[in-house]
Amino acid sequence: NVKEEAMDTEAKEALLEKDRKYVWHHITPHNENPMVVVSGEGSWITDADGNRYLDGMSGLWCVNVGHGRTEIAEAAAQQMKTLAYSTLIQSHVPAIELAAKLNEWLEGEYRIFFSNSGSDANEVAFKIARQYHHQRGKPSKHKFISRHRAYHGNSMGALGATGQAQRKLKYEPLGIGFTHVPPPYCYRCPFGQTKGSCETQCAQAYEDAIMWEGPESVAAIIVEPVITGGGMIVPPDDYLAKLRAICDKHDVLLIVDEVICGFGRSGERFGHHNYGVRPDIVTMAKGLTSAYSPLSATAVSAEMYDSFKTNGADSHFRHVNTFGGNPVSCAVALKNIEILERENLVSRSAYIGKELLSRIETLGEHPNVGEVRIFGSAIGIELVEDKLTKEPAHAATVAAIIAGCKQKGLLIGKNGDTVPGFMNILTLSPPLSTTDDEIAFIADTLL
Ligand code: PLP
């Protein structure tokens, strides 16, 4: 954690003054003195004081190929010079190439609708699902079932699908027709079962909800392969396959939100590949461009897309956004995927996770560590006040650990809502290019 050259004190103070006056920071209490990040290289970012930090969360679970990739910058510059903008009412080369590449990565036949953010991608999924049922003569199928603890975005529909009260309370009512079922949270099983010896009642909960709502009213269910932002909740191995079967039985669509789990984070190209399931709709963002440029996509099965071709003039999807599928972002995504492939970063992700886990194994014995959970290179460490009662660790304990790691040069995250308002799960999702030395640094810092 070597210190780099700091910004001139006066220049920094002037910058902070403008920040205090003009910038509204995301999802954080009013902050007079934020860390001002000025550069990034590999797994590291540097702030205005010259402090270097290992970006243990890849920003917001998104900078999968790491910082400072000049070849991505060059691809963006080249595309800007060639064609900076075109709508997708017509078509353009980077969007065509990217849609084809995503089909290769998805290992299935999908039509790709491009937007700007993960929230957008999910909104598009909801609208397409509703229209799809309309076009099949089943307009009453309009509801969506999601899970408590899930996070699907910040816009009204995506927040409606989200299952974390604290994120929603001041903004309700939200998207109409969203209901929630308990998560597959084995550490605190909502059905009082023991991990490994249950009948996956958490999957059955979806079918129960469909029956209570009435199958003729349910359009789709939405799940992340693993609930990430809600506290790294890893389901039983057969959970997703069971949801697929329930969806097939009740003519309900399966939407898989791969906004975090996609593009190698899970140790496979997409999170659902770990479970051998084919979704009807896959949403993605973040790792699609490693956040070098905003872009998201909603991949819709070819079978579903066919119903948008066959019903005459009225069957097109009446949805457009100005920036979705921007040529520069598509060129960035193509270069990003090229790097993921060339450097084998998907398998590197699985390696990083396993290596980190083996190095921090002894953490499990710590009196305040309830459970360590992992999915590819995404890790959650659930902190408790007491191992027996599982009382979630208090905010001050969590804050002290995060601050301690930061002081030693490691940025980690916190997530949760274990009990509404309790963010007692430490999270890590380092860049997939993280080196062996950096893995050792992360582990040593955590220990
Ligand atoms: N879905 C999941 C699983 C996410 O974690 C997020 C963001 O963290 C979103 C959707 C929303 O993505 P965005 O912030 O790009 O709107």
The structural domains of the chain, with segments of one domain joined by +, span: 9-65+344-446, 71-342
Within 10 angstroms of residue 16's Cβ, the number of other Cβ atoms is: 16
The domain made up of 9-65+344-446 has a fold known as Aspartate Aminotransferase, domain 1 (3.90.1150)
pLDDT tens digit string along 377-390?
A: 999 999 999 999 99
Q: Is 211 exposed, middle or buried (0-12, 13-18, 19+ CB in 10 A)?
A: exposed
Kindly state the tokens that stand for 407: 């002081």
What lines the ligand 1 site, CB under 6 Å? 60, 117-119, 122, 151-154, 224, 228-229, 257, 259-260, 285
DSSP SS3 for 299: strand
Determine the Cα–Cα distance for residues 175 and 181; give it in Å rounded to an integer. Answer: 17
**Percentage of residues of the chain with pLDDT beyond 70:** 99
Kindly state the tokens that stand for 382: 């659930």
Atom of ligand 1 nearest to the CA of 61: 8
**Percentage of residues of the chain with pLDDT beyond 90:** 90
pLDDT of 311: 67
Cβ-Cβ contacts under 8 Å for 354 (sequence gap 6 or more): none
Distance from Cα 255 to the centre of ligand 1, integer Å: 14
Determine the Cα–Cα distance for residues 416 and 438; give it in Å rounded to an integer. Answer: 26
pLDDT-based confidence at 2, cuts 50/70/90?
A: low
CA angle centred on 349, ends 50 and 186, rounded to 5°: 105
Distance from Cα 283 to the centre of ligand 1, integer Å: 10
pLDDT-based confidence at 30, cuts 50/70/90?
A: confident
Whether the complex's predicted ipTM is more than 0.90 is answered with yes
Atom of ligand 1 nearest to the CA of 119: 16
Closest CA to 253 of 102, 142, 147, 112: 142
User: Given a cut of 80, is residue 23 above it in pLDDT?
Assistant: yes
Determine the Cα–Cα distance for residues 3 and 10; give it in Å rounded to an integer. Answer: 19
Q: What are phi and psi of 411, to 5 degrees?
A: -95, 125
Distance from Cα 259 to the centre of ligand 1, integer Å: 6
Determine the Cα–Cα distance for residues 38 and 409; give it in Å rounded to an integer. Answer: 16
Strands 378-383 and 369-375: antiparallel
CATH number of 71-342: 3.40.640.10
Which of 58, 144, 146, 152 to mutate to test ligand 1, by most ligand atoms within 8 A of the CB atom?
152
DSSP SS3 for 11: helix
Determine the Cα–Cα distance for residues 312 and 300; give it in Å rounded to an integer. Answer: 19
pTM for the model stands at 0.97
Closest CA to 174 of 141, 139, 207, 146: 146
